[in-house]
Structure 1
Amino acid sequence: MKIKATIEQLPGGMMMVPLACGALIATFAPHAGPFFGSFTNALFTGALPILAVFYVCMGSTISAHSLPIIVRRGGALMAAKIALGILTGTILGHFLGSRPVTSGWFAGLSTLAVVAAINDTNGGLYMALMRRYGSAQDAASYAVMALESGPFLTMVTLGVAGLSAFPWQTMLGAILPLCVGMLLGNLDPEMRSFLGQGAPVMIPFFAFALGTTLDLHLVWTAGALGLGLGLATLAGSALVLMTVDRLIGGNGTAGIAAATTAGNAAAVPMLVAAANPEYAAAAKSATVLVAASVVVTSLLAPPLTAWWYARVRRGRSE
């Protein structure tokens, strides 16, 4: 049976399928974890420690030697995404604060959901698109953009937007596993190889644990809103990042390819809420909305990137 190949045919499949399985169990058998107890219950409730290991493994793949070469392009795209997140967070925060909308068409929408969807790029998809439509430097620039991963920049964005303050220990703790991984991976190539292989393995496990915190009734309710968030994230990010990419000498293709939401971003609302209980009310619906944005942007970014690349090539040949 080709289970892995089948799952990977879906956008963000290794993230979305286990998350959906966890959500199904949480919806129709909510007491399954405590019923079995022991390691089974630990898996149902262990998203945070699994994510800590994941960020150590992922950090080990970021090479310090590659940063000077690619910092201009990757840094510019990352800075543009952060700036967009801060701007959006400031505007929404003025109207919504830290809590979600409680009624109407936009019920469940929160500043946390929008900022988390914008801040983190789908690195695997970006590199795959750049290998097809860009240059080696474009693909390598994700080594800088990988610093977006995790809740750190979302916390920074929310803080800059004036919505809340996080203790410095919490801020440092959010990025410390990634930094430890970077240190180990750069000190020892064998550690980089060893730890780097573990990052993809962690994804379905923390996705499942994250899914067990979700009620699928929320998914049904937030369906259209999640679609709208994904479309708005792709359109807004693509416009800003394409402009920045062209200003630094690119043709805009890398900017469009980076206008996605990473699968890991679905875990960010829960991590932010763990650091600051003020966001607990927004975290569950935000997780669902961000997960929807992952799927929407992953589906639409490839054809949009291909269309723009073909348009650029036609313009050069004329």
Structure 2
Amino acid sequence: MKIKATLDKIPGSMMLFPLLLGAILNTLFPGTPTFFGSFTGALWQGALPILAVFFFCMGATLSFKSTPHILKKGGALLIAKIAVAAIVGIIVAKFIGNGMILGGLSVLAIVAAMNDTNGGMYMALMGQFGKAEDAGAYSIMSLESGPFLTMVSLGIAGLSGFPWQTMVGAILPMVLGMVVGNLDKDCREFFGKAAPVLIPFFAFGLGAGLDFKKVATAGITGILLGVAVVVITGSVLFLVDRLTGGNGIAGLAAATTAGNAAGVPAAVAAANPAYKAVAGPATIMVAASIIVSAILCPVIVSWYANRLKKKEKLKLQEQSGMNSIPTNDI
């Protein structure tokens, strides 16, 4: 059976299928990790440790010469995504304030869904269609994780700066990998080979934290929020990626909602009671956006990447044809 060859024909399959499998099993059999425990339970809930190892292995493939590119790309995408979430939130707030509209949609749900990128999806897509340097940019983009920047986007006052320990912790595995990989080319090759293998495992762990029942509860509104995340943030991030020297793939790959974003509404409500009434419905909306964006994003990235390949192929054929045209001596 040619399982991998078949899966490789499907956009982002090594990320998408394990993620969907995890979500299906968690929806139908939510007590599985507790029932089995041990290694099975750890795999079910172990996305973050596996991601840490993935970042280390990915870092080992990067040269120190790529550091400026990583800072530039990651910083640009990070600022762009936060800015889009804040602007959309401000516009919607003009009409509904801190309340909800029909279907349970709120400013909190919109900002939380748009503000945080699915790092696992981004890394998987960049591993398949992008560059290692662009994949490394997520070590900077990961600073958007958690409720802090969502609170900033919502204008909540009285918060201190982002904890330095968290910022260091976000980039430390990749930095250590870069050090090891640059010190020894054999280590670079050894750890670099492991990165793609880890993708389906952390994807399963991320999917095991999702519940399709919540998507059904969210209905058409939650689905539309997921589509909006892909379309609105994707359009802006695509332009930013192109303006910073990229081909647009990294920008499109970042147009998702992170799995941990589902916990942001409750955290925001705990910090500001004004959002307490909308936190529950917002959590459901964000959960729907996580799944919808995880399905749409790989399809769009794959389509665009194949389009770039076709253009490059045609360009090479044209150049080859021009070079083969005979010239007459005068």
TM-score by length of 2: 0.69
- Over 3 Å counting, the alpha-carbon distance change for 1:286 and 1:148 in structure 2 is farther
* Residue 227 (structure 1) aligned with residue 227 (structure 2): yes
Kept in 2, the 8 Å contact 1:262–1:294? The answer is no
Q: Which residue of 1 aligns with 2:40?
A: 40
Q: What stretches of structure 2 of length at least 5 have no aligned partner?
A: 272-278, 320-330
Does the alignment pair 1:191 with 2:184? no
Q: Contact between 1:75 and 1:145, CA under 8 Å: does it hold in 2?
A: yes
What is the alpha-carbon distance in structure 1 between the residues aligned to residue 195 and residue 257 of structure 2? 15
Q: Deviations 1:49-88 (Å, cap 9, x if unpaired)?
A: 22222221122122113446xx3xx665444322212312
Residue 105 of structure 2 corresponds to which residue in structure 1? 106
Deviation at 1:6, TM superposition (A): 2.3
CA contact (8 A) 1:261 1:294 kept: no
Measure, in 2, the Cα distance between the counterparts of 1:180 and 1:276. 33
The answer (yes or no) to whether the contact 1:120–1:261 under 8 Å persists in 2 is no
Contact kept, 8 Å, 1:241 with 1:258, in 2: the verdict is yes
The alpha carbon displacement at 1:17 in A equals 0.8
Pick aligned residue for 2:137 from 140, 145, 149: 145
How far apart are the structure 1 equivalents of 2:204 and 2:194? Answer: 17
Contact 1:47–1:207 (CA under 8 A) maintained in structure 2: yes
Question: Where does the alignment leave 5 or more consecutive residues of structure 1 unmatched?
Answer: 131-138
Q: 1:286 to 1:188 in 2, by over 3 A?
A: farther
State the distance in 1 between where 2:99 and 2:176 align: 34
Q: What are the superposed Cα offsets for residues 140-197 of structure 1, whole Å, 9 maximum, x if unpaired?
A: 7536635446x22446855764656542222222222222222222222222222222
Contact 1:33 1:44 in 2 (8 A): yes
Aligned twin of 1:208: 204
Residue 22 of structure 2 is matched in structure 1 by 22
**Counterpart position of 1:133:** none
Identify the residue that residue 276 of structure 2 maps to in structure 1.
none
> Which residue does 1:11 correspond to in 2?
11
Q: CA deviation at 1:233?
A: 2.6
2:248 to 256, 261, 278: 256
Match of 1:64 in 2: 64
Question: C-alpha separation between the residues in 2 aligned to 1:271 and 1:53?
Answer: 24
Name the aligned partner's letter for residue 210 of structure 1: L
The residue aligned with 2:322 is none
Measure, in 1, the Cα distance between the counterparts of 2:56 and 2:213. 34
| Superposition pairs of residues 122-161 of structure 1, within 5 angstroms | 122=122, 142=134, 145-148=137-140, 151-154=142-145, 158=150, 161=153
Going from structure 1 to structure 2, the CA distance change for 1:233 and 1:92 (only over 3 Å counts) comes to closer
Is the CA contact 2:59–2:176 (under 8 Å) kept in the aligned structure 1? Answer: yes
Amino acid at match of 1:225: L
* 170-179 vs 118-127, which moves further: 118-127
What is the DSSP-based 3-state SS (H/G/I as helix, E as strand, rest coil) of the residue aligned with 1:197?
helix
C-alpha displacement of 1:235:
2.1
Change in Cα spacing, 1:272 to 1:300, as seen in structure 2 (3 Å) is same
1:278 is displaced (CA, Å) by: 5.9
Cα pair 2:214 2:288 within 8 Å, conserved: yes
Relative distance call for 1:193 and 1:288 in structure 2 (3 A) is: farther
Following superposition, the deviation at residue 234 of structure 1 comes to 2.4
Give the CA deviation at 1:27: 0.9
8 Å CA contact 2:255, 2:293 repeated in 1: no
* Match runs of 1:214-293 below 5 Å: 214-220=210-216, 221=219, 222-242=222-242, 244-245=243-244, 254-262=246-254, 266-267=258-259, 269=261, 286=286, 288-293=288-293
SS at structure 1 position matched to 2:137: helix
Match of 1:177 among 173, 176, 180: 173
Q: CA deviation at 1:219?
A: 3.2
CA contact under 8 A between 1:82 and 1:157: conserved in structure 2? no
Identity of aligned residues (%): 34
